[in-house]
Every structure is written in structure tokens, then in C-alpha cells.
Structure 1
């Protein structure tokens, strides 16, 4: 039983520590970009109908992105002066965990060592949960082309305090943007 708990804990931690997914245009010289602005009408909640994706969450995500990009040496400027434009999207999907447990036991044995009552029991546990995906796009303003995209998905947790939601968003954005701009060795 103890080994099962350890294995489940390791699997849970591995699922929580999923690496974000990145893609970028390898022909782009990211060192040329010094300023950023948000795409006009960028909206996290435009096509998402989920109570957790709302204007409060949008504000958290924008502040986290702005903070991370400024920490990386970029300057936020009006859209007309920006080298790159930032856009973001979110999606929420329902997923299911299905666990099946089977047990086999013999209740009694006959005189000839044969099972008197051969019983099988199968139990299924089904849990539905929501997974949110945050996508951050970087667009070259001059060419109007997508040059970098990062995304991360994670289980949405309900009943969190606002402070916890802010912490989770900050960590998620930092994790997504950890590969922006791509390092020289990654460009090869």
C-alpha cells in the first residue's frame, strides 16, 4: 500500500510539472527586439465560457506577462513604437480520469482445496475535471507574423483564494516565458 501511495504521488507531481510547449521561427533574430506592446483587442476570455476566465484573471495574466518581459530587459511602449506585439488565448476542456480496480478473492475452500465461492469484483471510479490552457503569442510588428508561441495546460482548481490564483498565474507565465527569447544555443 505504501509503495502504491508513493507511485501515485510521483505520478501526480510529474503531471503537475509538465513542461510548457514552445515553438518559434528559427530564422528570427530575437536580439533585435527591445520593446513590446499588447495586440489591440487582445482578450483572454473572448471565446471562453468558464467562470474562472474573466476580467480579473485577464488582469493577472497581463501583469504577469508585463513583469516577466520587463525583467528580461524589454520595455513596454505604445503599440506604434513596439518591436513585438503580445497576444494571449485561453481554452478550457473537460477531461476524465477513469480508474478501474479489480479484486479476486475466494471466500471459502472445500475439503479438496477447491474454491467454494470464487468472487470477482470490479470497481470503476470516474472523475471529470477541467483543464485550462494558456497560450502566449509573440508577433513581429513589422512583418505581422507570429514568431514565438508558448503554451501550458493545467488542472483548474476551484475555491482558491485570490492570492493563490495570482501566485499560480505568475508561476505559469514565468514557466511559459522561460524560453522567450530563445537562447542562442536553442536557435541552432
Structure 2
């Protein structure tokens, strides 16, 4: 294999690894809270419960348009997971959601690490940096999905994820990925 091809393959591998690290660093993990005392195995069917309306400053979060999109995407994700949508009177569990946003101050400090290699001189270089600056405001948006046992009228599972990126938080493809990530955690695995 020629040196040019080796350099190209090495460069592609390093760029791919850095891209994965950047994406992993930006992803906020899904958080869940659930009742560990009950069995989730009997849950086979679901129905929608009206979302709790809370007055919010962001008009996009208090919108029938967003409501329909979220319900459609959650329904698709639950159906793909093997649950069946049915009437509220016969469903095993009810689903609802809420979204909120809050302003948070992000510190201007950060740590970055870079790794690289060199062929001609041989060797490896590791570099780092610490950025220090002022704080900046950012909007943190949270999407929370609740699962309620219909017979007991009791919250049994909650999944949520926060996002600090404002410009694309209402994008359909991003909202779909967000909902799929949350729904993928239901039902919880037995410990």
C-alpha cells in the first residue's frame, strides 16, 4: 500500500474517531425513574392521556402543533416497540408528556483534549487546553414522557432528556430521535 493511501486511511480514521467523540460529548443521556416493585410484563396496550397544560414562556412549547407531533412520534415509537394503541377504557397504561424550558447560565470554562500522530519524525502528541471566559445564557429544554398504570391511576415510569441547543430543538428529525431514545428505555430492564 502506498504512503499516500496509508496517510489518507489514517487521517480518515482519526477524523471519524474525533467526530464520534464530539457527538458522544454533545448527547445528553436519557434519564428514567420508575417503580421497581411492579411487573411491566402485563403492559401490552396504551392510550393517550391529555397532556398537563402548564403555562410556559416559549409559545412553541405550549402549542397544539407540537402536541400533535409529539403524540404521533411517541405513538410510532411505542408501536414499533410492540405496544398496541387502544381505547383509554381498556388500555393497560396511559401515556402523557410535558415539555419545559428554562434559562441556565453556562460557565465559560471547558477542557479539550486532542490526540495526533506523526509518521516522518515518529511519535505521538497529546495536547490540551482550558478555555476560561465569561458565562453565557442558554436555554435548556426538557421533554418528559410519563407512563401511568390505568387501573391504579399511578405513575409507574418517567423518562426525560434535556437539550441545550435552541435553534433545532423543534426539528422533526431531531424530535423523532429524542422521543425514540426516551421510549427505548421503556419498559425498564429487571435488575
Residue of structure 1 equivalent to 2:38: 28
155 and 29 in structure 1: CA distance in 2 versus 1, 3 angstrom threshold? same
170 and 161 in structure 1: CA distance in 2 versus 1, 3 angstrom threshold? closer
Residue of structure 2 equivalent to 1:111: none
Residue of structure 1 equivalent to 2:141: 132
Answer yes or no: is 1:70 the counterpart of 2:70.
no
Partner-residue secondary structure (3-state), 2:41: helix
Residue of structure 2 equivalent to 1:177: 183
Please give the residue correspondences for 1:78-89 in structure 2 after superposition, counting only pairs within 5 Å: 78-89=87-98
Residue of structure 2 equivalent to 1:118: none
Give the 4+ runs in structure 1 shifted more than 4 A: 9-12
Structure 2: state its 5+ residue gaps. Answer: 1-18, 111-131
Q: CA RMSD in A?
A: 2.5
Residue of structure 1 equivalent to 2:56: 48
Query: 1:52-78 deviations in whole A, cap 9, x for unaligned?
Result: 312222221111100011111111111
More helix by share: 1
Quote the Cα distance in structure 1 between the aligned partners of 2:143 and 2:102: 12
Partner-residue secondary structure (3-state), 2:38: coil
Quote the Cα distance in structure 1 between the aligned partners of 2:83 and 2:57: 33
100 and 156 in structure 1: CA distance in 2 versus 1, 3 angstrom threshold? closer
Quote the Cα distance in structure 2 between the aligned partners of 1:161 and 1:23: 23
Q: TM-score, normalised by structure 1?
A: 0.71
Query: 1:58-112 deviations in whole A, cap 9, x for unaligned?
Result: 22111110001111111111111111000111111101223269xxxxxxxxxxx
Partner-residue secondary structure (3-state), 1:179: coil
